[in-house]
Amino acid sequence: MKDLTAACDAVLRGVTAGASRVPGVVAMVTDRKGDIYSGAAGERRLGGAAMTEDTVFAIFSTTKAIAGTAALQCVEEGLLDLDAPASTYAPAIGKLQVIEGFDAAGAPKLRAPKRAITTRMLMLHTAGFGYDFFSETYKRLAEDHGQPSVVAASRAAIETPLLFDPGERWEYGSNIDWVGQVVEGIRGKRLGEVMRQRIFDPLGMDEIAFTRTAAMKARSAVIHARMPDGSLSAMDDFALPDNPEVDMGGHGLYATIPEYMKFIRMWLNDGAGPRGRVLRAETVDWAVKGALVPPQKVTMLPGVIPSLSNDAEFFPGLAKDWSYTFMVNSETAPTGRPAGAIGWAGLANSFYWIDRQNGFGGYWATQILPFGDPVSFGGYLDFETATYRAMTAARAA
């Protein structure tokens, strides 16, 4: 795959050079058998050690699909009814109320929800939860009432009011953190332990965890802030907590990118891994299909905390759906990604896609805030486009 290597290497060189650059990037492509491209460029920290393929990243919301997989396993075993109240498995979720704004004194106006939250709603992001960097209401709760950021990985960070009655619309938020709590309630173990036994070990995924080993910590990339003038500043004191109070199924994992490629391959291979099956083929088949009920739809993510996120959207103008638990593009994307492919992203500008139709997928990892960084996001789209061009050319040859 010389053309693929040359094209992707050129993208990586381009984004790590010049005044507007990313500090460093690791990017990989896999087919059903194994990795077919792996590249690293730039530095783990500006002016520091070189970025390498075994660099450890905070993968943020690319954690979600792994927590979703743990829940799907519970469904397969008859332990989880997606349409039962989620409080059956995670009682604390049943105590949460809907916020209808703030009164004249600035206090939250709360009421009971009209219906119970189900795990299906949680997996589809229709339960009513948000994020403070995408929701003005949650931002105000954080600023005026001390609602902790989900980055704190605390129980208080997820026991938040609902933005609307469960099931009413799609709103991206802390839903999958609650899916993790559902899994813990069913299994009687911490989510990280469940993932290790039932996903990571069967797939041979070693360097991935909610808490880094000393060796992983030594190879971790530093998150950088993109400043208003376009420059970068290392955020040496900012990181997801090791030994968190809650194993956050929505965003808490650290990993090397070669380990995540093993997870992508499992989805390309209908749930099979090198050391055993993770999901049944029929589960994979329905779990990757968009499941929102119109008028529910995936919308643009409005960045309301500029230091954490820009306004962000994949493929503006194209219809997008949500599955268990991925974004599904309903139309062919400009990169070449076909309708029905799945993927998502992580807050520090990591992005991946899984194209089961064509049998390959990729991951692009940087560590930059805010989300939707024009240089990293643009580089990712160039990387995906270059991959499709090279793969199409190779198949035509």
Is 376 among the residues known to form the active site? no
Beta-ladder partners of 360: 31, 355
Distance between first and last Cα of the chain = 12
Q: Smallest Cα–Cα separation from 249: which of 116, 70, 120?
A: 70
Annotated active-site residue in 37, 64, 260, 352: 64
Q: Smallest Cα–Cα separation from 92: which of 183, 165, 182, 193?
A: 182
Is 138 among the residues known to form the active site? no
> Contact at 8 Å (CB) between 335 and 388?
yes
Cis peptide before 299 (omega within 30 of 0): no
Distance CA 20, CA 384 (A): 20
Beta-ladder partners of 328: 321, 342
Distance CA 333, CA 58 (A): 27
Distance CA 245, CA 159 (A): 13
Is 172 among the residues known to form the active site? yes
Annotated active-site residue in 37, 89, 131, 172: 172
Q: Smallest Cα–Cα separation from 14: which of 392, 385, 378?
A: 378
Annotated active-site residue in 61, 174, 220, 350: 61
Give a three-class secondary structure readout of 40-84.
EEEECCCCCCECCCCCEEECHHHHHHHHHHHHHHHHHCCCCCCCC
Catalytic sites, residue numbers: 61, 64, 172
